[in-house]
Amino acid sequence: MIRIFFTRISFAMLMCLVCMSAGAQDTIKAPFNQEVWTREYAPFRIAGDLYYVGSYDLGCYLITTPEGHILINTGTVGSMPMIRAHVEQLGFRFEDIRILLATHAHFDHVGAMAAVKAATGAQAMIEAHDAPLVADGGESDFIFGGRGKLFPPFTADRLLHDHDTVRLGNIEILVLHHPGHTPGACSYLTTVHDDHRSYRVLIANMPSVLDETDLAGMPAYPNVGQDYAYTLDTMRHLQFDIWLASHASQFGLQQKHKGKRYHPAAFIDPRGYAKALDALDERYRKKLK
Ligand SMILES: [Zn+2]
């Protein structure tokens, strides 16, 4: 997810950043980058077989099974070496990643997915509404589109729909279609276990509204306003123990983790989740006016 921070950046500034970064990448022109998106953050075990392998701010999640691993989100275009190093530091084989999932098809979450897919042979499973976006590298994005490829494109090997189940080994993941931020944005619900108990985990795509979004309807996304309303409502009713999100800053990862080795209870925070939804709902209502 492109965070609320990003909503404060004007389009003029975005274009400026595009120009400044144009020399750095030949074909990929992500509108901007934040330093915290690529800043190192040591990988750690969140709960059971669920691990954090992302950067300081971009949430990338590894779920391990005896049949191979699932990776949710890959960060920006150059993030693959970081993710590989994190997976290996935790004692797993990067090549054992079998399934790739995304919380939504923006350049800060699927930037390295084509590279990871090529390196591991993993199956990319993408919600059907975001499949055209990953296939054209974000060129058809309803906000950022029309300025070339924003990330290396790739093909979805399986199209996901609301309430589909993704299975690998002993892990089952429920797909929750939470559209708005992109048409195919998704959250994921799964259960992991350690020696003491099981944890129902929500990896949420928090429905932040970008400044450039016209909730009355965008040419490439006429139902965007209705989709946000649906997502804000349906996310209120989810039942889970642990809450994580596309961006570490959305759920206060650093404040909760505090560098501890293993402390799943730190991520049990229903009140924080409700407060975050309240803030997003307020912003949605302001934008409606
Ligand atoms: Zn985004």
Q: For residue 3, what are the CA distances in angstroms to 6, 82, 114, 150?
A: 5, 21, 23, 17
The count of C-alpha atoms lying within 13 angstroms of the C-alpha of 9, restricted to the half-sphere facing its C-beta, is 15
Helices (H) and strands (E) in the chain, counts: 10, 12
Distance 170 CA to ligand 1 centre (A): 30
* Secondary structure E strands in 67-122: 68-72, 97-101
Cα separation, 249 vs 244, in Å, equals: 10
Ligand 1: centre distance to CA 88 (Å): 27
Cα of 59 vs centre of ligand 1, distance in Å, is 12
Q: Identify which of 204, 185, 192 has the alpha carbon closest to the alpha carbon of residue 168.
A: 192
pLDDT digits (tens, 9 = 90+) for 47-60: 999 999 999 999 99
Cα–Cα distance measured from residue 152 to residue 40, given in angstroms and rounded to the nearest whole number: 22
| Distance from residue 66's CA to the centre of ligand 1 (Å) | 32
| C-alpha of residue 194 to centroid of ligand 1, in Å | 32
Q: How far is the CA of 207 from the centre of ligand 1 (A)?
A: 9
Which CATH number characterizes residue 163's domain?
A: 3.60.15.10
Distance 10 CA to ligand 1 centre (A): 16
Question: How far, in Å, from the CA of 214 to the mean position of ligand 1?
Answer: 16
| Separation of CA 141 and ligand 1 centre (Å) | 11
* DSSP track, 154-202: ---SEEE-TT-EEEETTEEEEEEE--SSSTT-EEEEEEEE-SS-EEEEE
DSSP 218: B
**Model's pTM, two decimal places?**
0.91
Quote the number of domains for the chain: 1
d(CA 108, ligand 1 centre) in Å = 7
- Asked if 41 and 55 count as a contact pair (C-beta separation under 8 A), the reply is yes
**CA–CA dist 228, 284 (Å, integer):** 8
d(CA 129, CA 133): 8
Give the start-end residues of each E strand in the chain: 44-47, 50-52, 61-65, 68-72, 97-101, 123-127, 158-160, 165-168, 171-177, 186-193, 198-204, 242-245
CA of 269 to the centre of ligand 1 (A): 23
Q: How far is the CA of 79 from the centre of ligand 1 (A)?
A: 16
Question: What's the gap in Å between 196 CA and the centre of ligand 1?
Answer: 35
Q: Structural domain of residue 244, as residue ranges? A: 4-288
- Contact between 63 and 49 under an 8 Å Cβ cutoff? The reply is yes
Cα 104 to ligand 1 centroid, rounded to whole Å: 7
Instruction: Give the residues across from 125 on adjacent strands.
Output: 158
Rounded to the nearest angstrom, the distance between the alpha carbon of 2 and the centre of ligand 1 is 3
pLDDT in tens, the chain (289 residues): 444 444 444 433 443 333 333 333 446 778 888 999 999 999 999 999 999 999 999 999 999 999 999 999 999 999 999 999 999 999 999 999 999 999 999 999 999 999 999 999 999 999 999 999 999 999 999 999 999 999 999 999 999 999 999 999 999 999 999 999 999 999 999 999 999 999 999 999 999 999 999 999 999 999 999 999 999 999 999 999 999 999 999 999 999 999 888 999 999 999 999 999 999 999 999 999 8
Q: Contact at 8 Å (CB) between 203 and 103? A: yes
- Ligand 1 centroid – CA 151 distance (Å): 13
Chain-centre distance of CA 265, in angstroms? 22
For residue 105, the CA-to-ligand 1 centroid distance in Å is 7
CA of 14 to the centre of ligand 1 (A): 15
